[in-house]
Amino acid sequence: MLAPLTKRVLLQQYLYTCRYGFTYSTESCGTFDLVIVGGGIVGCATAREMLIRHPNLKMAIVEKENDLAKHQTSHNSGVVHAGIYYKPGSMKAKLCVEGLKLSYEYFCKHDIPHNKVGKLIVAQNKDQVKKLDDLYDRGVKNNVPDLQIVEKDTISKYEAKCQGEKALWSPWTGIVDWALVCKHFAEEFQKMGGKIYLNYEVTGFSEMAESKDKAELSPILVQSKDRCMPTKYVLTCGGLHSDRLAVMTGCDLSPRIVPFRGEYLLLNENKRHLCTTNIYPVPDPRFPFLGVHFTPRMNNDVWLGPNAVLAFAREGYRWRDINIRDCIEMAKFPGLYKLCFRYFIPGCKEIIKSIFYPLAVRDLQKFIPEISVKDVKRGPAGVRAQALDNNGNLVDDFVFDGGKGSIGSRILHCRNAPSPAATSSMAIAKFIADKLETDFKI
């Protein structure tokens, strides 16, 4: 005998089939307790955390691509951040430092290849030295482990060819393949009974017909082009498309996601010995992005960069990647105009360096003078899902939002999870799990 809720799910699916002319997969004929939209590292980490806490929950992850971790999770520098840069007391600062420790524990427990190569943040002049001292104080307030001041004559002990006036040394900063970590999270989730559905692009949310039993929640339908998944609650971790998912449930348009492409150069194989640790510049508070840096990779590559240029598609990894819908949305967004006006000259410089990459080598030579144009070549690129408000301000911290009405009140949106989201992913997962338990009484 079918349970009343299952009968109602099947009836609703039949009605949708008659109306829209598609057939449901038999996998979606039951109702889930929680569906997570987005198979990046935040979504997979949270799914794992929820099943650890509530092993009897019926859960699923839906991902629009044919594999997990296809975008920001696999298109980043691969750095395990220590939490130095972030404003003391911010969610970024708290969750990064907590996530750092949780990540290393997880890597060791599951034999995930990683390397604590450390990081030097190098000042090149007296003005930057003052900012470096302020950065040290910020790191101490954030409880960054074992942060050290390095004087000019001892910088070479940490990186033989590196030069500067003063530096910070962060021994806990490391490198890892975050896409591999994400897939480990997903494997654990599946072993605990969770389901993963690929090629499932969410197009909307709707509610089934009301139940006669008012104490029983009417399932939310997580809709795709040809499928529909009933669930009691939803969490979206949509990354580059997080604002669109939020708007589907009545949330405000702001903050909007604007894609910025970060392009890297690659150090030639015969010059990789010049860089054995992460080398970062002192950030300039006048500009929104960090600047070029040196990043060793787990496959022994050394990435140089990134720059920051506006992309013409949310998944625009190349200049020729253009999406008309994305471009129209950006053209209508006043916040982007205000941002571009504010950073017009630096933005133009970034574009020029993107086209004529030898110009970017000059920035790199400030740290390692031995590098020349012939020692580098074009490398990979990533796209940063930068959240902007209507005044053109970069939304720098994590943002969570809920929708409106009977549907939106049962959907939690992770609207902004910028770097260091990968490092912070396990801590973010705990934060979201707490919020899900509180808000949805799970």
DSSP conformation class of 160: T
Q: Is the pLDDT of residue 9 over 70?
A: no
CA-to-CA dists, residue 211 to 7, 113, 206, 255, angstroms: 11, 50, 15, 35
**Average pLDDT value for residue range 201-218:** 76
Confidence grade of residue 194 (pLDDT, cut at 50, 70, 90)? very high
- Residue 268: predicted pLDDT: 97
- Residue 7: predicted pLDDT: 47
Q: Is-contact 429 188, C-beta < 8 A?
A: no
CA-to-CA dists, residue 301 to 180, 296, 366, 374, 377, angstroms: 17, 6, 21, 16, 12
**Average pLDDT value for residue range 412-434:** 96
**Average pLDDT value for residue range 178-188:** 98
pLDDT digits (tens, 9 = 90+) for 106-143: 999 999 999 999 999 999 999 999 999 999 999 999 99
Using a pLDDT cut of 70, give the percent of the chain over it. 91
Q: What whole-number distance in Å separates Cα of residue 200 and Cα of residue 206? A: 16
The reply to whether 4-71+179-254+398-440 and 116-173+261-387 are identical in fold is: no
Locate 359 and state its tokens.
């110009």
Number of Cβ within a 10 Å radius of residue 149: 12
Q: Is the pLDDT of residue 404 over 90?
A: no
**Average pLDDT value for residue range 141-146:** 97
Q: Is the pLDDT of residue 210 over 80?
A: no
**Average pLDDT value for residue range 205-223:** 76
Q: In terms of pLDDT, which residue wins out, 10 or 340?
A: 340
- Residue 222: predicted pLDDT: 97
Instruction: Tell me the HSE value of 374 on the side-chain side, using a 13 A CA sphere.
Output: 2
- With b for 16 or more beta-carbon neighbours within 10 A and e for fewer, the 369-393 pattern comes to eebeeebbeebbbbbbbbbbeeebe
Looking at the whole model, is its pTM more than 0.75? yes
Where do the structural domains in the chain lie, given as residue ranges? 4-71+179-254+398-440, 116-173+261-387
- Residue 17: predicted pLDDT: 40
Q: Is the pLDDT of residue 316 over 90?
A: yes
- Residue 387: predicted pLDDT: 96
pLDDT digits (tens, 9 = 90+) for 367-402: 999 999 999 999 999 999 999 999 999 998 889 999
| Nearest C-alpha neighbor of 312 from the set 389, 383, 388 | 383
Sign of the four-CA dihedral 297, 366, 371, 358: positive
Q: Is-contact 326 313, C-beta < 8 A?
A: yes
Confidence grade of residue 22 (pLDDT, cut at 50, 70, 90)? very low
Q: What whole-number distance in Å separates Cα of residue 313 and Cα of residue 325? A: 8
Q: What whole-number distance in Å separates Cα of residue 414 and Cα of residue 379? A: 30
> What is the residue whose two structure tokens read 């104490």?
215
- Residue 284: predicted pLDDT: 81
Give 4-71+179-254+398-440's CATH code, choosing from 3.50.50.60, 3.40.630.30, 3.40.50.720, 3.40.47.10: 3.50.50.60
**Average pLDDT value for residue range 276-305:** 89
Tell me yes or no: is domain 116-173+261-387 CATH 3.30.9.10. yes
Q: Is the pLDDT of residue 221 over 90?
A: yes
Q: Is the pLDDT of residue 171 over 70?
A: yes
- Pick from 26-30, 139-143, 342-346, 370-374: least confident: 26-30
| Amino acid present at 356 | F
Q: Mean pLDDT across the chain, nearest whole number? A: 91
Q: In the chain, what is the greatest distance between 2 CA atoms, to the nearest angstrom?
A: 79
Number of Cβ within a 10 Å radius of residue 19: 8
pLDDT digits (tens, 9 = 90+) for 239-288: 999 999 999 999 999 999 999 999 999 999 999 999 999 999 998 866 76
> What is the residue whose two structure tokens read 């934060």?
431
Phi then psi for 100, rounded to 5 degrees?
-55, -50
**Parallel/antiparallel/unpaired status of strands 148-151 and 166-170:** antiparallel
Confidence grade of residue 333 (pLDDT, cut at 50, 70, 90)? very high
Q: Which class for 405: exposed (0-12), middle (13-18), buried (19 or more C-beta within 10 A)?
A: exposed
pLDDT digits (tens, 9 = 90+) for 60-85: 999 999 999 999 999 999 999 999 99
Locate 97 and state its tokens.
């430092």
Order the strands of the 79-80 sheet from edge to edge: 79-80, 174-176, 114-115
Q: Where is 429: in which H helix or E strand?
A: helix 421-440
Q: Where is 328: in which H helix or E strand?
A: helix 324-331
Q: Where is 436: in which H helix or E strand?
A: helix 421-440
Give the per-residue SS3 of 249-313.
CCCCCCCEEEEEEEEEEEECHHHHHHCCCEEEECCCCCCCCCCCEEEECCCCCEEEECCCEECCC
Q: What whole-number distance in Å separates Cα of residue 433 and Cα of residue 420? A: 19
